[in-house]
Chains A and B, each alone.
Chain A
Amino acid sequence: MQQRGLGIVLATVILTALVPAREIRAASHQSESHPQAQESGRSQVHLPIADFSLTDQTGRPFRFQELRGKVVLVTFIYTTCSDVCPLLTSRMVLVQRDLKGTERSSVYLLGITTDPEIDRPQILKSYAGRYGVDFSNWSFLTGSPGELAPVWKSFRVQVQRKARGLVNHTPLTALLDKAGIMRFAYFGTSPDHRSMLRDLRSLLPSS
């Protein structure tokens, strides 16, 4: 009798183990929660950004006001994001790579996390390293939720935590002039890096 019971359990286990292959594909096909890569909406704005202090990928304090005099390209990402953020960071990498030597000293890039729960400095550093980021004019910033919330608000970025390591946030890339005023906003998952470069150059002194 016990052997029969054991056999039934064993059969159930084996059957259960074999079932999910079909199930996962069916469930995945039904999922519509992921955004498609979309061209970004570009708009000209005039939004002064309040000064803030956060922590960079090395653990050192970072003061936004020290970027005065530079054109700044900012995006909002988190490291365990699997859809929007890889696209945003990839576009920023293209912008950085296409900057001319003379432009590099006048332009700074920022990646600001939307998930301080996970994104400690070392994690941001590893994330940036996997994209081949050149840290000479690009910093990744984090902080406590209390420090980050006003920054998100200043940029009009909405952040909503869904679960650990899973965050909904406004897919914004913003271009700021030398006075720290947001002049261009790119909403969407795939901002055109050539368009961003063109706008960026329009804010540089030689233009």
Chain B
Amino acid sequence: MVLRIFALAALLSLQFACSRNQEMKTLYAERCLACHGASGRGDGPIASSLPVPVPDFRLTVERKSVRAIRKVIVDGKGIMPAYGPALSRLEVQDMIRAVRVVSEEGRPVEWWEKIGPLLYAHCSLPWQFGDDEEEPQRGAGP
């Protein structure tokens, strides 16, 4: 009985996290879209005017751990702003999920692949399945 209640509470918590789709979309539109573009390909409206190429999420985010994505969002990278001082922890989590979602476009993603990053981003788990290696630095692009 206790186990069932615990499981139900955990699922409801995850349901709450999943219900933040609107916040996630707004954050992406306000903070990421100008450079990274609607599809995350690095083709946003100002991308061509920037002094460095904007990475394609489909090539970079897929290879990054959630921890590495969080670090880029919070601390910035190259000319990409450091959003740490401006966003709440929950908003950072929403942004992680947003870039994960966008990065999945155009490649076959199994349903279970979506669950791991979602859990990790929203539940602040102290571990993550898969490789946690940092991607090698390549230029100063956002």
Contact = CB atoms under 8 A, between A and B. Distances in A.
Contact of A37 (B8, B49, B104): B49
A17 B44 contact: no
A207 interface: no
Interface in B26-57: 28-35, 38-39, 44-46, 48-51
User: Does more than half of chain A's interface fall in helix, strand or loop, or is it mixed?
Assistant: helix
Interface residues of A, number: 49
Contacts of B4: 2, 6
Interface residues of B, number: 51
Interface stretch (A22-30, A57-65, A174-182): A22-30
Contact of B8 (A9, A31, A87, A90): A9
Interface in A1-30: 2, 5-6, 9-10, 12-14, 16-21, 23-25, 27-29
A31 B97 CA distance: 19
Contacts of B11: 6, 9-10, 13
7 contacts: A27-B29, A31-B33, A34-B44, A127-B81, A127-B82, A130-B80, A130-B140
Interface of A: 2, 5-6, 9-10, 12-14, 16-21, 23-25, 27-29, 31, 33-37, 79-83, 86-87, 89-90, 93-94, 118, 123, 126-127, 130-132, 164-166, 189-190
